[in-house]
């Protein structure tokens, strides 16, 4: 079942709409989708194709998000859909994130927002995490679930690449308790070449989330020869510290995946990053080892 999106506007050009769910702000012609592949212009209106199509459902430790300083030791009911607004060559969940509507029928479990909240309670989770792919692309569904979850005293968590538009962030911020934001690099060219995106909107989201009082933790997947220089790692640490030295930084080990076959990140590189991070930040964690 498709559902009309809330975050879009119609344009003067015949039949075209502009999506406002993420910083791409795609202009979409009739019968086409945006970059994410799941927000489609149907007869001049924008519809969410994955409203009732959940591609992944798991009960995870909150630390797997990763969130180490938010509800530690608890479980999080975790869901994701098909599609993504990034095209990362090194995507870890490419089987669902890089699926596009044009590849064939969008598959997934049909689970209502009410059922998701009920299942989170049944499995003794204290939160619901919107994860595995990018939640900005199904932000209307996130909000619908999050409103119900809050009424049941459940927390809401976004695991995100941070590519929200200001409109989208304002739409969702009052219902989100924690975010893990993936800062993939501090290099504009990296974002353009390997992710099909821009750096600045991610930095803006990190700042907005902090200013909104949302608990945030930042993750950086360290890839050999691409974003592992001491200069870049120092820039990331200094940027996070400029917002708040107490924001946790997760330094994650890369493994060959999807289109990228570089060797796994050496442990000594991660230790180097950890040492740099601790010059500026209170909490630095190494992951994927």
Residue 192: Cβ within 10 Å count: 12
Residue 103 has pLDDT above 70, yes or no: no
Task: Kindly report, residue by residue over 13-71, the tens digit of the pLDDT.
Answer: 889 999 999 999 999 999 999 999 999 999 999 999 999 899 999 999 999 999 999 99
Q: What integer pLDDT is reported at residue 259 of this predicted model?
A: 93
Q: What is the mean pLDDT of residues 126-147?
A: 98
Residue 250 has pLDDT above 90, yes or no: yes
Q: What integer pLDDT is reported at residue 106 of this predicted model?
A: 77
Q: How far apart are CA 253 and CA 270, in angstroms?
A: 7
Residue 260 has pLDDT above 70, yes or no: yes
Q: What integer pLDDT is reported at residue 60 of this predicted model?
A: 98
Residue 155 has pLDDT above 70, yes or no: yes
Residue 101 has pLDDT above 60, yes or no: no
Where in the chain are all domains bearing CATH 3.20.20.70? Answer: 56-287
Residue 153 CB burial class (10 angstroms; 0-12, 13-18, ≥19): exposed
98 pLDDT tier (thresholds 50, 70, 90): confident
Q: How far apart are CA 62 and CA 125, in angstroms?
A: 9
Q: What is the mean pLDDT of residues 130-134?
A: 97
Q: How far apart are CA 184 and CA 203, in angstroms?
A: 11
Q: Tell me the two tokens of residue 245.
A: 């030295």
CA atoms within 13 A on the CB side of 157: 34
**How open is the CA angle 200-144-113, to the nearest 5 degrees?**
125
Residues in the chain: 289
Residue 104 has pLDDT above 70, yes or no: no
Q: How far apart are CA 186 and CA 197, in angstroms?
A: 13
Q: What integer pLDDT is reported at residue 107 of this predicted model?
A: 76
Q: What is the mean pLDDT of residues 202-210?
A: 98
Please report, rounded to a whole number, the percentage of residues in the chain having pLDDT higher than 90.
92
Range of lowest pLDDT (1-5, 178-182, 230-234, 252-256)? 1-5
Q: What is the mean pLDDT of residues 201-213?
A: 98
What average pLDDT does the chain have?
Answer: 96
Q: H or E element: which one contains 210?
A: helix 200-211
Q: Tell me the two tokens of residue 271.
A: 């230790």
100 pLDDT tier (thresholds 50, 70, 90): low
Q: How far apart are CA 127 and CA 53, in angstroms?
A: 20
Q: How far apart are CA 265 and CA 29, in angstroms?
A: 42
Q: What is the mean pLDDT of residues 130-156?
A: 98
Q: What integer pLDDT is reported at residue 114 of this predicted model?
A: 98
181-to-127, 157, 210 alpha-carbon distances in Å: 17, 11, 11
How would CATH label the architecture of 56-287? Alpha-Beta Barrel (3.20)
Q: What integer pLDDT is reported at residue 42 of this predicted model?
A: 96
């Amino acid at each position: 079942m498709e559902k009309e999106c809330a975050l879009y506007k119609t344009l003067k050009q015949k039949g075209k709409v502009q999506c406002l769910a993420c910083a791409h702000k795609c202009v979409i012609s009739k019968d086409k989708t945006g970059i994410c592949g799941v927000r489609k212009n149907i007869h001049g209106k924008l519809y969410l194709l994955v409203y009732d199509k959940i591609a992944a459902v798991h009960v995870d430790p909150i630390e797997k998000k990763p969130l180490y300083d938010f509800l530690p030791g608890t479980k999080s009911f975790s869901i994701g859909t098909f599609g993504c607004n990034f095209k990362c060559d090194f995507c870890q969940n490419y089987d669902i994130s890089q699926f596009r509507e044009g590849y064939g029928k969008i598959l997934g479990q049909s689970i209502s927002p009410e059922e998701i909240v009920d299942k989170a309670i049944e499995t003794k989770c204290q939160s619901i995490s919107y994860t595995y792919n990018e939640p900005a692309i199904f932000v209307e569904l996130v909000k619908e679930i999050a409103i119900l979850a809050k009424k049941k005293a459940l927390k809401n968590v976004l695991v995100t690449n941070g590519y929200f538009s200001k409109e989208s962030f304002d739409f969702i911020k009052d219902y989100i308790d924690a975010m893990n934001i993936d800062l993939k690099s501090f290099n504009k060219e990296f974002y353009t070449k390997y992710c099909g995106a821009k750096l600045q909107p991610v930095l803006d989201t990190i700042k907005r989330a902090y200013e909104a009082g949302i608990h945030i933790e930042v993750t950086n997947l360290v890839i050999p020869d691409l974003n592992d220089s001491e200069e870049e790692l120092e820039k990331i640490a200094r940027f996070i510290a400029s917002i708040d030295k107490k924001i946790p930084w997760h330094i994650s080990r890369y493994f060959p995946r999807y289109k990228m076959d570089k060797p796994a990140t050496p442990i000594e590189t991660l230790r180097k990053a950890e040492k740099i991070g601790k010059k500026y930040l209170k909490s630095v964690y190494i992951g994927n080892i």
